[in-house]
Structure 1
Amino acid sequence: MFIGIDLGTSGVKVILTNTDGELIASASTRLELSLPKPLWSEQNPQDWWQATCDCLDSLSKEHNLAPVSAIGFAGQMHGATLLDKGGSALRPAILWNDGRCEAECRELTEAVPSVTDITGNLVMPGFTAPKLLWVKHHEPEIFKRINKVLLPKDYLRYKLSGDFASDMSDAAGTIWLDVGKRDWDDSLLNACGLSRQQMPTLFEGNQVTGTLLPSLCQRWGMRDVKLVAGAGDNAAGAIGCGIINPGQAMLSLGTSGVYFAVTREFRSNAASAVHSFCHALPDRWHLMSVMLSAASCLQWYAANAGYQDVGELTADIENNSGIDDDATPYFLPYLTGERTPHNNPSAKGMFFGISAATTRAHMGRAVMEGVSMALADGIDAVHGCGVQADGISLIGGGVRSSYWCQMLANVSGLAMNLRQSGDVGPALGAARLAHLAMNPEIKPSYICPFPKLVKSFEPDNSHFDVYLKRRQKFRELYFAVEPHF
């Protein structure tokens, strides 16, 4: 059997799978977020460890864990976890959604002008490197005591085995990794006052990094258990969905929207705020566009327009509006700023073109179309790197509506394939990476298969032509109002 541990922002999930990839059991524990000041977002690493122990304690009471051969990891990316020489956390971890270090982003970009070429990414406050510069400037006594810098999931690895290790996909989100070479970059580390000695050893996601400590084996009734490198949350989620080879891509529609496409080599489009990271398997990379408000826009409008839920909103859109209806306005879906392609945290949402004939169904359609067009902009930004996808797998709670799935195909001009998705998310990818590490002779596609196809949505070319014109005006509206954000 195999264990997958997923350290999310809101909780820890631990799952148990068998050699057929079937879910045997799961346990989860919630985590609290600390927001001590504006733009700050922190968590105590000790809380991660306690939550993980609680989950494993729970599983061990209900199941015999002696057959477990390996543990894989997935987790929230970019968090700065700072340890002293004794392995204790020097301060709360600064998380991915912390925005305090905008000035340090500019400082690092000026110090290493080639940073985008090296990493394939713009330097943003979410990444790890500018967080360390902030600590250096504002908490110099803590900075002087830093012995190791770990990403969140890798702190759990350290507590479980005593090893300082990370995987390529998670390390790519630090802005210290040469993403093409899959190695730490000394110029970027030096610019932050750090060295390789303070970084974890790098592994591919399906490689063994160490062994579970004997005392913990005894606690949970395990034997010789290997720890496997794992992946950052998005790469682990892709592994769980079988998105492992070039030409494969997925669109995840949750609160945010993420388009994830696998490539055979390192590519980038940082000018359009596309993320370029290593994938969790060797000789694979991935490009990723991020939309900060996706399905959440529909939830927001449904709540404010008096609908019971998004399902009622969708039915109203389908029954009381059409693609050629002049009463449908435009909607800019940037309720919480935007990442790809505009990279504008100050962007705002907007309705434009409301008339006396506009109903709440027309406005609901505008919201659905606006989210779809913004997602298509992100897909185009990724494909601008020369990426071609053999169809796009749709996952996430936002794709329950066949009507919206078809609209996404019509707006993008690309086939959308709705696939089954469970509730284990990145934890399943972590368990599969553990499985791969223990069975290197088995093809990854066997252990990481595509989820079952539920339905394929082919684009309607006549609708695509209409949306091409609407997308042009959609883009023009953004640039027209951008100065007023």
Structure 2
Amino acid sequence: MAFYLGLDLGTSGLKALLIDEEQKIIASAHAELHVSRPHQSWSEQQPQDWIKAAEAAITRLKAEHGTALSNVRGIGLSGQMHGAVLLDEQDQVLRPAILWNDTRSHTQAAQLDSDPQFRALTGNIVFPGFTAPKLLWVKDNEPEIFARIKKILLPKDYLRLWLTGEHVSEMSDASGTSWLDVAQRKWSADLLAATELDESQMPRLVEGTDVSGTLRAELCQQWGMASNVAVAGGAGDNAASACGIGTVKAGQAFASLGTSGVLFAANDSFLPRPDSAVHAFCHALPQTWHQMGVILSATDALNWYSTITGHEAAALTQELGDDLLAPSGVTFLPYLSGERTPHNDSLIRGSFTGLSHSDNRVALTQAVLEGVAFAFRDNLEALAKAGTQLESVMAIGGGSRSAYWLKALATALNMPVHLPADGDFGAAFGAARLGLIAAEKADALAICTAPQIIKTIEPDQKLHAAYEAAYQRYTALYQALKP
């Protein structure tokens, strides 16, 4: 039997997942990663740590499932987007990678965004978290490093370089750089020139379902694999999750309650609307695009509150009980790292407002969950302005384990929220699917199917008016508190 390996490089860890030719999950392994924050608004990692994490996870799989690993025919990659890995002529890393949630380059982002060609060609605002403004920051603040840059890679593509020896990226991840002509699915010479770069410094582009290279002989020998293992183009983490959950056709959507939050809708055409702060990116499948609204702190907000209270996040949500409560007077804005959609505001910060003597830990937990749900509602409104109307969403991510949070989300969005059958349908599974498609030249739509829905959470119509009033209060608070 043939097997396929998905590698998902996240911010807090790397996951390796094995599936068989029937897409049954055989095993997975995880290795932790840590973020360095040497200054306010900075977020960095050492790319070498990603390789160590991949080696640790795959070594664990080999020890426990060596036969399956030896029969791997394809590998797919998924990864945190927007990060800047800078390499010299010998492919040596010039500085720590600047990550997606690093906002030091907000001034450079505004400078690039003021150039009309960026929105015209990319279909997106130039956000501070994107790659191009990071490079402009390096040029302005570390010119000696900028002068030595031979190649710029995204995080998962640095893993690819280690796996295959090839400098390659793919369309979904490249869409988040601010250098891609997203409609034409190619690098833009004009946008690169605006940051004093050229196409020679960019990786070669392939589709996510294409073969980007084959596994290096040294690694084949180390892991006991054959010499012709295909490495797929893969996808950025959200597009890979969409492949895993089967959100690949127009009209399909998911809400990801992960560290960050994503409302993701698949499209069969390119539908840019930059002023809405909705991302319009290439999908991992050829001639497919997607839109998504992004919340910078989703479960990250609850985890932050968990640290403050000294109580586990799951215990906090359990204190709320089973039945959805009407919003109280307490409102939480989850802008702990600024916000992307719909505000594009790296300076705004989170807040509790409306506190009184009667409010306790449970009331603040409720406010945190509602605040994140209202941030998703903001994203839903932004998607509607960008031309995408949704009728329901699939819920994925760690936050979807909270029944209360899903009820709050369904009521805030005023639409059904579907819960998939038990299973791992995340980015690592989507990456493994892409590895299968590339290795076997399989039909992508036949492989990237949606899982069975085991439960649908309907909005609580009795609380619709109360939630609507609370949402209006939530949106007004941003205008009152923004810098």
| Mapped contact 2:127–2:340 kept (Cα < 8 A) | no
Q: Is the 8 A contact 2:276 2:385 kept in 1?
A: no
> By how many angstroms is 1:451 displaced?
2.5
Q: Show the 5 A alignment for 1:10-29.
A: 10-29=12-31
Q: Does 1:439 align with 2:440?
A: yes
* Cα displacement (A) at 1:312: 4.8
Deviation at 1:199, TM superposition (A): 0.9
CA gap of 1:477–1:24, structure 2 versus 1, over 3 A, is: same
What pairs up with 1:131-210 in 2 under 5 angstroms? 131-210=134-213
Cα pair distance change 1:137/1:309, threshold 3 Å: closer
Q: Which residue of 2 aligns with 1:40?
A: 42
Does 2:107 align with 1:103?
Answer: yes
Runs (4 or more) in structure 1 with deviation over 6 Å come to none
Residues 348 and 157 (structure 1), Cα distance of their counterparts in 2 relative to 1, 3 Å cut: closer
Classify the secondary structure of the residue corresponding to 2:75.
Answer: strand
Name the residue aligned to 2:334.
333
Stretches of structure 2 that go unaligned for 5 or more consecutive residues are none
Q: Of 23, 40, 56, which aligns to 2:58?
A: 56
**Equivalent position of 2:347 in the other structure:** 346
Give the number of equivalent residue pairs: 478
Q: How far apart are residue 421 of structure 1 and its match? A: 5.5
Q: Does 1:365 align with 2:366?
A: yes
Query: What residue is the counterpart of 1:251 in the other structure?
Result: 255
Q: 1:213 aligns with which of 216, 227, 237?
A: 216
Quote the residue 1:284 is aligned against: 288
TM-score by length of structure 2 reads 0.91
Alignment partner, residue 474 of structure 1: 474
1:293 matches 2:313: no
Instruction: Report deviation, 1:480.
Output: 2.3
Which deviates the most, 270-279 or 289-298? 289-298
For 1:288, give the aligned amino acid.
M
For residues 455 and 378 of structure 2, the distance between their equivalents in structure 1, rounded to whole angstroms, comes to 24
Deviations 1:153-209 (Å, cap 9, x if unpaired)? Answer: 111212222211111001001110011111111111011111111111111100011
Distance 1:320 1:433 in 2: 40
| Cα separation, 2, equivalents of 1:465 and 1:382 | 22
Shift of 1:303: 5.9
Report the secondary structure of 1:48's partner residue.
Answer: helix
Query: Residue 39 of structure 1: CA displacement?
Result: 2.9
Are residue 88 (structure 1) and residue 89 (structure 2) matched?
Answer: no
Identical aligned residues as a percent? 47
What is the aligned partner in structure 2 of residue 451 from structure 1? 451
Determine the C-alpha separation between the residues in 1 that align with 2:90 and 2:272.
Answer: 39
Instruction: Give CA deviations for 1:329-386 in whole Å, capped at 9, x if unaligned.
Output: 3333333322211222232333444456655544443333332222111111112212
> Could you report, residue by residue, the CA deviation over 1:255-281 in whole angstroms, capped at 9, with x for unpaired residues?
332111111111233223222211111
Q: Note closer, same or farther for the CA distance 1:352–1:162 as it changes in structure 2 (3 Å cut).
A: closer
User: CA 1:415–1:482 in structure 2 vs 1: closer, same or farther (change >3 Å)?
Assistant: same
- Which has the larger displacement, 401-410 or 190-199? 401-410
3-state SS, counterpart of residue 287 of structure 2? coil
Q: Of the two, which has the highest radius of gyration?
A: 1
User: Separation in 1 of the partners of 2:318 and 2:428?
Assistant: 34
Checking the alignment, whether the CA contact within 8 Å between 1:419 and 1:451 is kept in structure 2 is yes
Aligned to 2:230: 226
- Compared with structure 1, are the counterparts of its residues 460 and 61 closer, same or farther at alpha carbon in structure 2 (3 Å cutoff)? closer
In the aligned structure 2, how far is the partner of 1:455 from the partner of 1:54? 36
CA deviations 1:199-241 (Å, max 9, x no partner) are: 1111110001111222322222211111110001111112111
Deviation of the 1:305 alpha carbon:
5.9
CA distance in 2, matches of 1:482, 1:238: 33
- The reply on whether 1:265 has 2:269 as its aligned counterpart is yes
**Which runs of 5 or more structure 1 residues have no equivalent in the other structure?**
none
